[in-house]
Amino acid sequence: MEIVIAGSHGPIGTALVAELRDQGHRVRRLVRRTAQGPDEVSWDPRAGRLDAQDLRGADAVVNLAGANIGDWPLTGARKREVVASRTRSTTLLAEALAALDTPPAVLLQASGIGAYGDRGDTVVDESQPLGQTFFAGVVRQWEASTQAAEAAGVRVAHLRTGIVLAPSGGALGRLLPLLRLGIGGPLGPGSQYWSWIALPDEVAAIAHLLTAPVRGPVNMVTAATPNAELTRAIAAELHRPAVLQPPAWALRLVLGDLSQEVLGSVRADPGKLLASGFTPRYPDVASAARYVTGEA
């Protein structure tokens, strides 16, 4: 297949490009500069610039583009940029696909399980209504931005990705070093469910959905585990204690709206993904802990 990827330089995108090329696919990256060679396509979402003809011949498109929510404090201006970076790029890409006489068969569009808001112990599948938090609002606008592609007959799957576990960077980028030093622990109450997926499984699931006949939202998670259980499993693999537990009020003070993602409880059900034929390599807490600590 010929696959075009936007947002290819983040942790997920970098691993996905390598995996797809290893599988023998031709991968072309969307880049925000002058293209340097046939495997790059230049675009500028901020300026609304993308030549639809540069996407001709693509069998599939994967859009992972969007400003990182954890890089800067979520001020009002930063919130607007988080939303705009997602809706601008997605709308531009969807409209470019719709402009083609023969658009790609599939668009795999990044999204997030922040869609559901804080749902406590309730198990949530893709049929559940969206929540009322800032991040649920982001997802509502983000997913709606693919309408042009859907109207043109493109199969669109919204990848509602959970917490991606990896040995460095990502959701554990700040927590894992503390656990290695023996000064980390559960966050807030620790009873909140974290819906997670290991990075290799996220990449494999995206590759799987290029051909699996799945459309609409899909929970890109392997399991949902209380934060304390996941944290202590990782600490145990490191042979370290996990006893320091920052209180919820302190996390809210330091993180602001980002604390919704840390303290909020989302018990997402991966049934739709598993029913499509996907089998995760790291299906449980024990195997995931071994992976992120380098023991797997």
pLDDT tens-place string over residues 222-278: 999 999 999 999 999 998 887 777 777 676 666 666 666 777 889 999 999 999 999
Which residue has 């600590």 as its token pair? 293
pLDDT in tens, 263-274: 788 999 999 999
What is this structure's pTM? Answer: 0.93
- Strand-pair category, 223-226 with 267-268: unpaired
Q: Tokens in use for 36?
A: 């340097």
Domains (ranges, CATH) in the chain? 2-292 (3.40.50.720)
Longest dimension (CA), the chain: 59
Instruction: Look over the chain and give the mean of its residue pLDDT values, rounded to a whole number.
Output: 90
Both structure tokens of 197: 């997926």
Name the strand (E) or helix (H) holding 106.
strand 106-112
Token code pair at residue 142:
């983000």
What confidence category does residue 295 fall into, taking pLDDT thresholds of 50, 70 and 90? Answer: low
Write the single-letter amino acid at 90: T
What is the reported pLDDT for 181? Answer: 83
The distance in angstroms from the start CA to the end CA of the chain is 31
Residue 287 CA, chain-centre distance (Å), reads 20
Q: Look at residues 89, 16, 18, 101 and name the one whose alpha carbon lies nearest to residue 58.
A: 101
